Structure 1
């Protein structure tokens, strides 16, 4: 499966808040690094992260662009509340081995009425 095809399936699972299906898209030792957060390592930890995040806020990914270059796919996205971001996915043997995402955590927390951490 091409990286673009996997990311299209990833978006569908994300929009269905299907943390189990999302988890299956990652390799056993995958790393998911959302830049505003600490990296999450391992398929089960990534699955747990999605489960917790979906319980915390309703999230929707609207695809603006998906680019593919070899083993990499880049997803530009927005959500219905106006947040925008992008994600980089390294795909090997039909599994995500590394993901890095860039988005504005403060805007996300404000839009969803979530507490803003104090420093």
Structure 2
């Protein structure tokens, strides 16, 4: 599967809130670094991350653009509440090897009425 097609599938599963299916898109030793959070290493930890995130807030990813450059796909997204961000996906052998995302965590927490860390 090409990088762009895999990211389209990722978006569909993300919007379903299906942590198990989305985790299957990752390599066993994949890395997910949402730069506002700690780095998450390994498919099982990525699964737990998605379970926790989907339980904490209803999230919707609306694709604005998906660009592809070889093994890389870049997702530019927004959500219905006005949050915007982008994600970079390195795809190897049809699975996500590395993902990095940029978005405003403080705005996300406020929009979803979640606690704001004080440290």
TM over 0.5: yes
Could you list the runs of 5+ residues in structure 2 that have no partner in the other structure? none
Structure-2 residue corresponding to 1:72: 72
SS at 1:114's partner residue?
A: coil
Could you list the runs of 5+ residues in structure 1 that have no partner in the other structure? none
TM-score normalised according to structure 2 size:
0.99
Distance in 1 (CA, whole Å) between partners of 2:116 and 2:43 is 28
Structure-2 residue corresponding to 1:28: 28
Map Cα deviations across residues 35-79 of structure 1 (whole Å, 9 max, x no partner).
000100000000110000000000000000000000000000000
Structure-1 residue corresponding to 2:96: 96
User: 1:105 offset after TM fit, Å?
Assistant: 0.2
SS at 1:98's partner residue?
A: strand
TM-score normalised according to structure 1 size:
0.99
SS at 1:37's partner residue?
A: coil
Structure-2 residue corresponding to 1:37: 37
Structure-2 residue corresponding to 1:117: 117
User: 1:27 offset after TM fit, Å?
Assistant: 0.1
Distance in 2 (CA, whole Å) between partners of 1:33 and 1:107 is 18
